[in-house]
């Protein structure tokens, strides 16, 4: 990292935050906090997180995160300066911010919710933290700053069974995080030069020209040493980041390291690693050994590796007697992106791993990236300046591309063609699509959780054909989402904007039976006045619904439950006449869907009958039920879902089929007359 590199990175970060704040109508500190949450979550440092600023006498907080098992709490406080080039954060100010953050946590333990407005997001935050503090074993106090900060020397302290740990993420540390671990800087380990001897190994017979396999034993101190130097770069292609010691697997690893290190080889499954090249040498005993590994990556066993390092660093464990079995697959460099994820998928046995964990190289994301660089979006202002919607498939791609523009003139031209406000990430993509697919309660669970669910749905339902049409319509959904954010912000609701936005879009799509003209939005890069007016009107009853949960439940938690969407979906809202006049007809709106792979023909009679009903009929049923107030909300939703599955050529489940046939019969009995007659429906 050079001083010039850090200075340029700092300036680009400030511009990114300025653009983000303007686009989302948030404060600069909040926009910076959100960026930090996204970066640290993707790096495995956080379990998602929420921006929630609060300042009162003696306390200050910018947001928080609670691990899934509620054993770890993270609270953040942000210091952001945009008016000073290369700012510094004095130690006295840093300590003051940390004291205010710690005071906030202490107040949460003492019933602070009685002192805050129960209708504000701050109340939800305090309530969440009060509950989590009862089970938490660790509280991390994190300071986010775009300044250069002094090292904060605070020894972790344990109070009432909770360890308090202080961390500072300044501009230098963020720069290291976002610029490390790329394929351009492969890890090369010389075991002879560094550790005094090669690793003993056994090579397997060659079975494929694209790879070879070596079996070896790695001393624990070697793994700890490597992780100490390379950190998560060593795990770059791993299926997941190290999860501290919160899971049963990691606790078991730690216990084995501390109590029976000599038996670690017997108790642990070992690691799987990949390399692009291996240098084999003869050891002192004449046996073949691994002298040097080029492009080393641990793709399975990241938890084992990081647990050994953690045991050494935090517990002072002696890992001299620890041995770890390892399978090293030497893969041709041009096949890394294909073979390595497959190795991760098939070899991982320690924790359940879903398809979402193998997302970066998924064909959908690769195709979206390619199209985002090739497809020009028409000028929204008519000035002739066409632009790209830059899809950041991997962290830091936007900054990398910008860095390649060597002169001020090229930098300016590139930014005009790739405006920051049109950069979007994998989690953004999942948010846009899930909102359109009427899953606002899933979106409300957080960026990473929603993304994992998005990838699971892709694996279950099949990938769409990602062509230019699909890309344009996805960008139209992005524009719809961003403009809804702007319109909701203008209402000044005071909180829960993210929830209001996704629920409003879901309700709009549901009420219009997906007949919004996405192609029209792409052509103009904007919403029509009628659509804007409808969103502005609709968001008000949506806001009232989600911020008044039953039984005075926590609003944030309520928005994550399917019942919250059922309640919003049932709101008595009618599409305004001006918007109804510009909606697509049902047949044209169906053409906005993407073709998906064929699936095997169903064998269950009910499933076969439901699958035989045309998608158009299911959508017409949902639309008719909405217009007439017939059927239950869940039945309307099921009819819509069955239409989507029919489009994708994905058979419904047996339960869905039986319920679908029943609701369709009921609709026909009540007077529904589809364009394509339905005959010979079996008894449900």
**What would the mean pLDDT of 445-463 be, rounded to a whole number?**
83
According to the model, what pLDDT value does residue 3 have? 45
Is the confidence at residue 249, as pLDDT, over 80? no
The predicted structure's pLDDT at residue 242: 39
Most confident stretch, 125-129, 297-301, 618-622, 674-678: 125-129
CA angle 531, 535, 537 (to 5 degrees): 115
pLDDT at 650 over 70: yes
Q: Which helix (H) or strand (E) holds 72?
A: strand 72-79
- The pLDDT of 531-559, averaged and rounded, is 92
* Residue 2 banded pLDDT, cuts 50, 70, 90: very low
User: What is the pLDDT at residue 656?
Assistant: 81
Task: Specify burial of residue 216 (Cβ count, 10 A radius: 0-12, 13-18, 19+).
Answer: buried
pTM, two decimals, is 0.64
In this prediction, residue 344 carries a pLDDT of 59
The pLDDT score that the predictor gives to residue 546 is 94
Between 177 and 185, name the one with better pLDDT.
177
Q: Is the pLDDT of residue 491 over 80?
A: yes
Length of the chain as a residue count: 684
Which tokens go with 160? 């009432």
Q: So what's the pLDDT on residue 648?
A: 67
Worst-scoring range by mean pLDDT, 25-34, 199-208, 252-261, 346-355?
Answer: 346-355
Q: Which two tokens stand for residue 620?
A: 């017409």
* Arithmetic mean of pLDDT over the chain: 83
Residue 351 is predicted with a pLDDT of 43
pLDDT score, position 530 = 95
* pLDDT for the residue numbered 135: 82
Asked if the model's pLDDT at residue 332 lies above 60, the reply is: yes
Name the 3-class secondary structure at 508.
helix
Q: Pick the more confident residue, 397 or 74.
A: 74
186 φ/ψ angles, rounded to the nearest 5 degrees: -65, 150
- Residue 353 above 50 pLDDT? no
**Whether residue 285 has pLDDT greater than 60:** yes
* pLDDT tens digit sequence for 420-443: 889 998 999 999 999 999 999 999
Three state DSSP letters for 425-494 = EHHHHHHHHHHHCCCHHHHCCCHHHHHHHHHHHHHHHCCCCCCHHHHHHHHHHHHHHHHHHHHHHHHCCC
Radius of gyration of the chain (CA): 27
In this structure, what token pair is assigned to residue 434? 């899930």
Higher pLDDT, 30 or 357: 30
d(CA 592, CA 571): 26
Strands (E), 248-303: 271-275, 277-282, 288-294, 297-300
Determine contact, residues 599/462, Cβ cutoff 8 Å. yes
Q: How many other C-beta atoms are found inside a 10 Å radius of the C-beta of residue 641?
A: 17
Q: Which residues contact 236 (CB under 8 A, 6 or more apart)?
A: 181, 297
In the chain, what percentage of residues exceed pLDDT 90?
36
pLDDT of residue 342: 61
pLDDT of 573 above 80: yes
Q: pLDDT exceeding 70 applies to what percent of the chain?
A: 86
């Amino acid at each position: 990292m050079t001083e010039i590199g850090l200075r340029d990175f700092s300036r680009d970060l400030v511009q990114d935050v300025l653009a983000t704040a303007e686009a989302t109508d948030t404060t600069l500190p909040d926009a910076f906090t959100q960026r930090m949450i996204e970066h640290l979550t993707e790096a495995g440092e956080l379990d998602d997180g929420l921006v929630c600023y609060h300042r009162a006498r003696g306390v200050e907080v910018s947001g928080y995160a609670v691990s899934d098992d509620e054993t770890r709490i993270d609270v953040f406080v942000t210091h952001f300066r945009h008016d000073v080039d290369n700012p510094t954060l004095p130690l006295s100010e840093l300590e003051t911010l940390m004291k205010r953050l710690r005071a906030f946590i202490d107040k949460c333990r003492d019933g602070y919710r009685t002192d805050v407005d129960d209708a504000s997001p701050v109340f939800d935050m305090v309530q969440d933290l009060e509950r989590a503090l009862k089970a938490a074993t660790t509280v991390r106090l994190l300071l986010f700053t775009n300044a250069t900060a002094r090292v904060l020397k605070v020894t972790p302290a344990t109070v009432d069974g909770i360890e308090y740990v202080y961390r500072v993420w300044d501009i230098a540390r963020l720069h290291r995080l976002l610029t490390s671990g790329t394929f351009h800087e492969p890890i090369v380990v010389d075991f002879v030069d560094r550790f005094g001897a090669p690793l003993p190994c056994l090579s397997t017979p060659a079975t494929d020209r694209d790879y070879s396999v070596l079996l070896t034993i790695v001393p624990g101190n070697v793994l700890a040493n490597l992780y100490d130097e390379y950190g998560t770069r060593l795990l770059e292609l791993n299926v997941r980041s190290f999860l501290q010691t919160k899971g049963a697997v990691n606790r078991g690893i730690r216990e084995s390291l501390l109590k029976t290190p000599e038996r670690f080889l017997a108790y642990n499954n070992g690691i799987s690693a990949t390399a692009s090249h291996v240098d084999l040498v003869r050891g002192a005993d004449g046996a073949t050994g691994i002298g040097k590994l080029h492009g080393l990556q641990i793709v399975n066993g990241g938890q084992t590796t990081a647990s050994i390092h953690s045991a050494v660093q935090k517990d002072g464990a002696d890992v001299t007697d620890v041995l770890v079995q390892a399978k090293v697959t030497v893969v041709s460099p041009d096949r890394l992106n294909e073979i390595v994820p497959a190795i991760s998928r098939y070899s991982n046995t320690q924790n359940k791993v879903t398809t979402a964990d193998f997302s970066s190289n998924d064909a959908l994301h690769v195709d979206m990236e390619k199209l985002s660089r090739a497809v020009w979006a028409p000028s929204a202002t008519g000035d002739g300046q066409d632009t790209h919607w830059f899809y950041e498939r991997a962290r830091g791609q936007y900054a990398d591309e910008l860095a390649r523009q060597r002169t001020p003139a090229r930098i300016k031209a590139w930014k005009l063609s790739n405006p920051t406000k049109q950069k979007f990430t994998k989690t953004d993509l999942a948010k846009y699509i899930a909102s359109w697919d009427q899953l606002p309660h899933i979106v409300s669970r957080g960026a990473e959780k929603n993304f994992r669910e998005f990838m699971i749905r892709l694996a279950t339902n099949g990938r769409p054909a990602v062509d230019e049409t699909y890309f344009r319509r996805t960008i139209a959904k992005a524009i719809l989402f961003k403009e809804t954010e702007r319109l909701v912000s203008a209402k000044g609701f005071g909180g829960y904007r993210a929830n209001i936005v996704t629920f409003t879009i879901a309700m709009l799509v549901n009420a219009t039976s997906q007949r919004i003209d996405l192609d029209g939005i792409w052509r103009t890069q904007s919403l029509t006045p009628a659509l804007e007016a409808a969103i502005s009107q609709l968001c008000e009853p949506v806001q009232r619904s989600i911020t008044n949960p039953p039984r005075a439940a926590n609003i944030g938690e309520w928005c994550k439950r399917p019942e919250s969407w059922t309640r919003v979906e049932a709101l008595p809202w009618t599409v305004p006449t001006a918007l109804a006049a510009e909606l697509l007809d049902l047949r044209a709106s169906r053409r906005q869907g993407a073709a998906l792979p064929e699936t095997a023909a169903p064998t269950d009679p009910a499933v076969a009958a439901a699958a035989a009903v045309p998608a158009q009929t299911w959508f017409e049923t949902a639309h008719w039920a909405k217009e007439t107030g017939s059927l239950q909300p869940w039945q309307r939703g099921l009819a819509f879902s069955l239409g989507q599955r029919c489009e994708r050529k994905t058979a419904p489940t047996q339960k869905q089929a039986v319920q679908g046939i029943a609701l369709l019969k009921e609709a026909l009995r009540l007077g529904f007359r589809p364009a394509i007659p339905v005959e010979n429906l079996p008894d449900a």
